[in-house]
Amino acid sequence: MIKPRKKRKNKYQESMLRRVKGNFRTFHGFFIVFTGFCFVVLLGAGLSRFYHKMIGAPWLKLEEIEITGINKLDRLDILNAMGLKRGQCTLSISTEQVAGRLRKLPAVRDASLRLALGGRMAVKIVEREPAAIVRCAGQNMQMDLDGIMFSEATADGNGALPLLTGLCGSSPMKGAPVAARSLEQIRELLSAIDSSKSWLSGTAINECRWSESGITLILGERAVPVDIGKGAFEQKITKLRKVINTLNERDWTGLVTRIDLDYPGKAYLEGQFPVPQPVQGRARQPS
């Protein structure tokens, strides 16, 4: 009688329990990923719903814009440059971007914004202050100490400002700067004129003419040119005061036609001055 051979167990065959455990781990990982995905979707939907409710909240709507620091600028021009609308959600407003739009206005030197509760925005404007009038191609423009020609000059209110010529040959755009090579000299000249305005006001500087060789002042009704060259303007204007005092003492003011102060310690004058007469008297006889 032949006995049946026992079926050997394959030691390399995966057991049922191990397969079940593997499938469970796969399902568990898939479940975690799926649950996380659903959570993110639900969270995003909730946040979106919350955001839309927030931007619709009445206490986040822009209701009032308070502008300070404007003297010559028009409030409507400021509001148009800001580009904001009443009722706009303050969460969607970038104060830095709005301030950047305001700084692009030629007459605005700086601008800052601050959002407050109750839908209120506070805007602070720093306007450019005119330091001189620049004449370009027959057009007069106001210029500040930064060298920015920011506005057309009007006849009223600009009489006390120095008139600069020779800086540009064509009509400038608002907000255009003067040439950088001449800006430092202009600043020094304006400072020297300002520090001497107590006595220069009666002298009437009609024009400050700039050129590559230096600056020439045009004085008085007779338009007498005064060459002051480049640099050391405060010392040269002090020298000009001494020259004017000497001319007044000798009653030669109406005789001078040109003054050159571009020499250290000296001043050269041109004009129809009287020739000094020799001293009258009897000559002494030699002994």
The stretches of the chain forming alpha helices (DSSP H) are 16-55, 75-82, 95-103, 180-195, 197-200, 233-249
Pick the CATH number of 58-127 from 3.30.750.24, 1.10.357.10, 3.10.20.310, 3.30.420.40: 3.10.20.310
Report how far residue 17's alpha carbon sits from residue 6's, in angstroms, rounded to the nearest whole number. 23
Q: Which two tokens stand for residue 7?
A: 């079926």
Judge if 58-127 and 132-271 fold alike in CATH terms: no
Q: What is the pLDDT of residue 252?
A: 85
Burial class (CB in 10 A: 0-12, 13-18, 19+), 8: exposed
Report how far residue 98's alpha carbon sits from residue 75's, in angstroms, rounded to the nearest whole number. 15
* Model pTM score: 0.69
Q: Which two tokens stand for residue 131?
A: 């330091």
In the chain, what are the domain boundaries? 58-127, 132-271
Q: Which residues contact 62 (CB under 8 A, 6 or more apart)?
A: 84, 85, 86, 87, 88, 89, 90, 93, 119, 121
Q: What is the pLDDT of residue 78?
A: 93
Q: Which two tokens stand for residue 19?
A: 């397969």
Under-70 pLDDT residues of the chain: 1-31, 34, 37-39, 41-59, 156-159, 201-203, 276-287
DSSP designation for 4: P
| Secondary element (H or E) of residue 216 | strand 214-219
Report how far residue 83's alpha carbon sits from residue 95's, in angstroms, rounded to the nearest whole number. 12
Condensed to tens digits (0 to 9), the pLDDT of residues 5-49 reads: 555 554 545 556 666 555 556 656 666 776 776 667 666 665 555
Task: Please give the CATH number for the structural domain made up of 132-271.
Answer: 3.40.50.11690
Condensed to tens digits (0 to 9), the pLDDT of residues 152-165 reads: 887 765 668 889 99
Minimal CA–CA distance to 236: which of 205, 262, 214? 262
Report how far residue 141's alpha carbon sits from residue 257's, in angstroms, rounded to the nearest whole number. 30
Q: What is the pLDDT of residue 99?
A: 93
∠230-232-234 over CA atoms, to 5°? 125
Q: What is the pLDDT of residue 19?
A: 62
